[in-house]
Each structure stands twice: as C-alpha cells, then as structure tokens.
Amino acid sequence: MVQQALKSSPNGNFKITQLCENLAICEAKVDRHNWGNATETEPAFLIYLGCKRKEVAEKINYINNALGCYWCEVRKPKYLKDFEAEIKIRGMQRESDNNAYGLDYLIWVENNYEYLEDEEIEYYATGYMPRW
C-alpha cells in the first residue's frame, strides 16, 4: 500500500491521499458538495481511480454494477498523473454490505487481489486502526 498524502486544502477542508498505485481518496471535513456518504464517525469522501483510456468503459461498468456508484466523471488525470485517465467516483460507501461492494473491496481489487488483513483494509478505508 502507498498511503501517501497528495494534497490538502489550505484551510483544511479536505485532504487527498493515495491509497495504492491507481487509487486516491479525497475526504472532506464538511460535505459541502453533497457527496452523501458521511457517517457519524467518518467524513464524506470521493475516489479517484487512474486507468488507461481503453479501460474506462470497463471500469465504469464495474463501478456502476459492483460498487453501486452511478456518478462518475472521466477526466485528464489531476492527482494520479501516471495514468491516461482519472475517474472521479462519487457516492461510494466505505464498507461492503449485502447491497454493494465498498471502498474496502475496491482497495483489495486495485491492490491486485493481494491479501490484506481485515484490520489493514479497515485502516485504509476508514483510517481506523484498532489498538492491541
């Protein structure tokens, strides 16, 4: 896992962190843009997914069907500059449930299905690390 800070807003309203090679998360302290996925303990967020241009349609199909996210914007890479396209994904949930896969699953998939401990996935998806 990369877990590298890419950008923070000057007034601290949001921060963008690269989670793995082609995946970054933007977390907002205040949900000003109505992302709609904040919880009592976790801030609202959106995801940036880097890919090749020829992979865009397949990735969006996957995002819509498996992740249950229907608001995507394809653009020239702004944060994940090593890719041909960047897909901005809004409306994702942090953790998978019976209705849709969440950020935890996407991290696992985009990390080449490399096995991660549940606590590690939880940390990358929510920032929470249990104390032992």
Structure tokens at 99: 């209705």
- What is the pLDDT tens value at each position of the chain, 132 positions in all? 556 677 777 677 888 999 889 999 999 988 888 888 888 888 999 999 999 999 999 999 999 988 888 899 999 999 999 999 999 999 899 888 888 889 988 988 887 766 555 566 566 565 655 554
| 92: its two tokens | 């994702």
pLDDT of residue 68: 87
* Composition of the chain by helix, strand, coil, percent to 5: 25, 30, 50
Predicted pLDDT at 14: 86
Three-class DSSP category at 125: helix
Query: What is the DSSP pairing of strand 44-51 with strand 23-28?
Result: antiparallel
**pTM here?**
0.80
